[in-house]
Amino acid sequence: MDAVIKIGGSLAEDPEQLKALCTKLSEFAKKYTITVVPGGGRFADVVRDFDKRFTLSSGISHRMAILGMDQFGLLLSQIIPNSCATYLLTDAKQLSEIGVVPVFLPSRLMFREDPLENSWNVTSDSIAAYVASRLHVAKVFLVTDVDGIFTKDPKKHADAALIERLSAEELLKLNKRTSVDRYLPKLLLEVSIDCYVVNGNHPERIEAILAGQQATCTLIVARTE
Amino acid sequence: MDAVIKIGGSLAEDPEQLKALCTKLSEFAKKYTITVVPGGGRFADVVRDFDKRFTLSSGISHRMAILGMDQFGLLLSQIIPNSCATYLLTDAKQLSEIGVVPVFLPSRLMFREDPLENSWNVTSDSIAAYVASRLHVAKVFLVTDVDGIFTKDPKKHADAALIERLSAEELLKLNKRTSVDRYLPKLLLEVSIDCYVVNGNHPERIEAILAGQQATCTLIVARTE
């Protein structure tokens, strides 16, 4: 498979832009084999809130948040033309090979294998990278509502600069919350998968990267060969 | 089994009261065989909101809302002492027989069988009644944050009066949104199960009804024998 593409939940805050992106995804699937992994967005935010109020165990809140990804995945399966929601990696592989967009609902795989740390350091970013590793994909896209990883939060600081490329080791050493989760660089190194953090409001950037071209994004390099 | 007890999601807005209720539930399970079914609460409210913004199909929003019940069920399984979350009716039966409180996560049963209308007329109230029918239970409790069904919304009208008892046929004829979902009376008639709408901030009322005594609540009569 060519790529796993995670659609960040924050993109759901603008329905028209998200629908435009989803239409593009179904076009990409005619040329490339892709699997979509949903983010958590507001479905996971509700879990965060209850986690604070009830002091839940990390295992329980982790599972609740993953169900939030399933919820957003069902939503995506409706608005991505020619898509199909599935719990199975084998289905995702087969669907992608016939030009359909599989939307992978991660709950059953993650509950069964429970391969990652149960904490808020692991969000849909790391889960997408894990799914990518299980599908033997070399590229994972984290599609969000900003252009990539910045030196500072671009929504708060006008002088924030886009980091166009960094290694997973460098990201690990930053040791701070960026637009991706904290566990991600560790996992990318383990599974040797490159990661593109890209703005979903510019689907042409995803298309360019799929075609091996340059585009505005942050590339996190983790492949060793 | 003696009873299915649905815990309304609105009760999660007061963590201390909900924890007190949950402690009581585990005490009841020593004397009675019970299964807890979670409501949807804010987990389902997020789905309602996205349903409006994306005009989702009824099948998709129905499934997303049921995943919201799974989320609240996982939360309940942490705060009910001596409880266990399960997807299986057979597990629920066995756990209840050894004094454990099964928290039934409805997604897998409901996705597999899809027995009820897919619309917002069917919420966790009807799903709890369906689970009760599958467990051959004669009583279903809908535990909420008001004393039962009122003649008017008690949170808005000071002269609202509690309806202590009505038949499922009468509730069906009311043909309006009460504190229970619109599909419920139809289903109760089909499965011949009596339903008690009761205030979870007074767990002693649930205990009294389990013991066959009177308590403040609304009894919806549907059993024909």
Q: Note down pLDDT in tens along chain B; length 225 residues.
A: 999 999 999 999 999 999 999 999 999 999 999 999 999 999 999 999 999 999 999 999 999 999 999 999 999 999 999 999 999 999 999 999 999 999 999 999 999 999 999 999 999 999 999 999 999 998 999 999 999 999 988 888 989 999 999 999 999 998 777 889 999 999 999 999 999 999 999 999 999 999 999 999 999 999 876
Best of B75, B79, B86 to substitute, by most chain A Cβ atoms within 10 angstroms, is B75
Helix extents (H) in chain B: 15-31, 41-54, 58-79, 89-97, 107-113, 124-134, 168-174, 184-191, 203-210
User: What span, in angstroms and rounded, lies between the C-alpha atoms of A119 and B66?
Assistant: 24
DSSP summary character for residue B193: -
Chain B residues closer than 8 Å to A79 by CB:
54
Q: What 3-state DSSP class applies to A144? A: strand
| Res A87: pLDDT | 98
Nearest chain A residue to B72, by CA: A64
- Write down the pLDDT at residue B225: 60
Backbone angles phi, psi at B38, to 5 degrees: -80, 150
Best residue in A22, A75, A114 for a mutation probing chain B (most B CBs within 10 Å): A75
Residues lower than pLDDT 50 in chain A: none
* Residue A162 in tokens: 């886009």
Q: What does the H/E/C string look like for B46-82?
A: HHHHHHHHHCCCHHHHHHHHHHHHHHHHHHHHHHCCC
User: In this complex, do B75 and A60 lie within 8 Å of one another by their Cβ atoms?
Assistant: yes
| Tokens representing residue A102 in the block | 């599989």
Q: Are A85 and A100 in contact (CB under 8 A)?
A: no
Residue A116 has a CB neighbour count (10 Å cut-off) of: 18
Per the rule left: phi > 0, alpha: psi between -120 and 50, beta: everything else, A41 is left
Find which of B17, B22, B53, B64 to mutate to test the A interface (most A CBs within 10 Å of its CB): B64
> From B43, which residue of chain A is nearest by alpha-carbon distance?
A46
Put the strands of the sheet holding A218-221 in their side by side order: A83-86, A101-104, A34-38, A3-7, A139-144, A194-199, A218-221, A165-167
Strand partners, B3: B34, B139
CA atoms in the 13 A half-sphere facing the CB of B66: 26
Q: What is the ipTM of this complex?
A: 0.95
Residues of chain A contacting residue B70, judged by C-beta atoms under 8 Å apart: 67
Q: How far is B48 from chain A (nearest CA, A)?
A: 11
Quote the DSSP letter at residue B11: G
- CA–CA distance, A40 with A46 (Å, rounded to integer): 10
* pLDDT at position A225: 60
Contact in structure between B216 and B199 (CB atoms under 8 Å): yes
Of B64, B71, B78, the CB nearest to A75: B64
Chain B residues with CB inside 8 Å of A64's CB?
Answer: 71, 74-75
Determine how many CB atoms are found less than 10 A away from the CB of residue B82.
15
CA dist B111 and B66 (Å) reads 9
